Amino acid sequence: MFRSILVTGGCGFIGANFVRLLLERGHAKIVVLDKLTYAGRLENLAGVDVPIVVGDITNLELVRHVCKTHNIDLIVNFAAETHVDQSILNPFVFTQTNVQGTHVLLEVARELGIRFHQISTDEVYGTIDGDHHSLETDPLRPRSPYSASKAAGDQLVQSYHVTYGLDTTISRGSNNVGAYQFLEKVVPLFTTNAILDLPLPVYGDGLQMRDYTHVLDHCTGILAILEHGKIGEVYNVGAGATISNLEMLEILLETVQKPKSLIRHVADRAGHDKRYSVNVQKLQQLGWNAQFSPRAAIATAAKWYLEHPNYWQPVRQSASFKAYYERQYANRLEAAA
């Protein structure tokens, strides 16, 4: 359907899964642009034969050059700073990449007449009460520097559609799990902690509700939007069911056969959102359905880390990961002891 697709952030977790899916579905020409931050790993595209340009989406000259050279007619923007805890520690890089970087991509898309799809998140809706499921028309109430920067990116995308008539779509995905996720995120972190018999430092009471979605369901949802979605629209993507973080831990502990006694309740994240849940009916009307329940998504993801120690051991042993883990969890674990 598209001649040549630029996948930004294609060496990250979801981007790499999306590139693999595109290839499986026979989309021949794909180019990846990725800065290879601490979260971007060439290993995520091991065995995949696509050109990878190492560079920053905030670099307008570079983005224009890549789009012209490869005759790009679709940009799918996964490139982002993505971890809420990192956004609390170091917020400025989030506005640079998630706002300024998105703006640069939009400007090049406008100049060259390129369709633009933005990968956003359910976190832009903020924490939601009761039994509400966020609709695409709900107000954006982001509460962390991460979600605020993603909400700003969404609004820039909408403004380019309205003001310049750029062909845009946005997907707002819920918490993804699956292969190739960076170890700072909760499911790979706690799965590998459990495999190593380390405590699992769960924030607060662990009763935060999340719609855990398998990354493959997210990727097929994005494809459905690209193929059948209406230009200018926003679509939620999720499993359509929520479970608490404690239930998530129980599923992954069961999968790797480790005891619940590894769970430690530690000081909560500042401004921690209590509940996210998205209404996915609009995407379902395009003929898409999630294939994994949250339980199946978490169990499948945990099994993948159990079976791929060569993927995650080098990260866990790296000085940068150890420094992050120490800064984020050492005091919390000590205080909880």
Catalytic residues: 122-123, 146
**8 A C-beta contact, residue 99 and residue 153:** yes
**8 A C-beta contact, residue 6 and residue 72:** yes
Residue 214 binds to ligand NAD (criterion: CB under 6 A): no
By beta carbon distance, the residue nearest ligand NAD is 12
Among 86, 176, 191, 245, binds ligand NAD (CB under 6 A): 176
**8 A C-beta contact, residue 98 and residue 153:** yes
Stretch that binds ligand NAD, among 20-28, 32-40, 109-117, 305-313 (CB under 6 A): 32-40
- In this structure, the number of other CB atoms found within 10 A of the CB of residue 315 comes to 18
**8 A C-beta contact, residue 292 and residue 216:** yes
Stretch that binds ligand NAD, among 63-71, 77-85, 135-143, 323-331 (CB under 6 A): 77-85
Separation of alpha carbons 122 and 170, rounded Å: 11
Write out the binding residues for ligand NAD, residues 303-322 only, by CB under 6 A: none
Among 126, 142, 173, 221, binds ligand NAD (CB under 6 A): 173
Residue 119 binds to ligand NAD (criterion: CB under 6 A): yes
Which two three-digit tokens encode residue 52?
Answer: 């990878």
145-158 exposure pattern, b = at least 16 Cβ within 10 A, e = fewer = bbbbbbbbbbebbe
Helices and strands, number each (H, E), in the chain: 14, 13
Residue 201 binds to ligand NAD (criterion: CB under 6 A): no
Write out the binding residues for ligand NAD, residues 263-282 only, by CB under 6 A: none
CB of 330 to ligand NAD, least distance (A): 23
Separation of alpha carbons 262 and 193, rounded Å: 9
Q: What torsion do the CA atoms of 120, 121, 127, 131 make, to the nearest 10 degrees? A: 110
Which two three-digit tokens encode residue 232?
Answer: 């200018």
Residue 82 binds to ligand NAD (criterion: CB under 6 A): yes
Smaller CB distance to ligand NAD: residue 53 or 253?
53
H or E segment to which residue 6 belongs: strand 5-8
Among 5, 6, 14, 104, binds ligand NAD (CB under 6 A): 14
Write out the binding residues for ligand NAD, residues 91-110 only, by CB under 6 A: 97, 101
Among 19, 52, 53, 57, binds ligand NAD (CB under 6 A): 57
- In this structure, the number of other CB atoms found within 10 A of the CB of residue 121 comes to 24
Count, residues near ligand NAD per rule CB under 6 A: 30
Question: Interface residues with ligand NAD (CB under 6 A)?
Answer: 8-9, 11-15, 34-37, 39-40, 56-58, 78-82, 97, 101, 119, 121, 150, 173, 175-176, 182
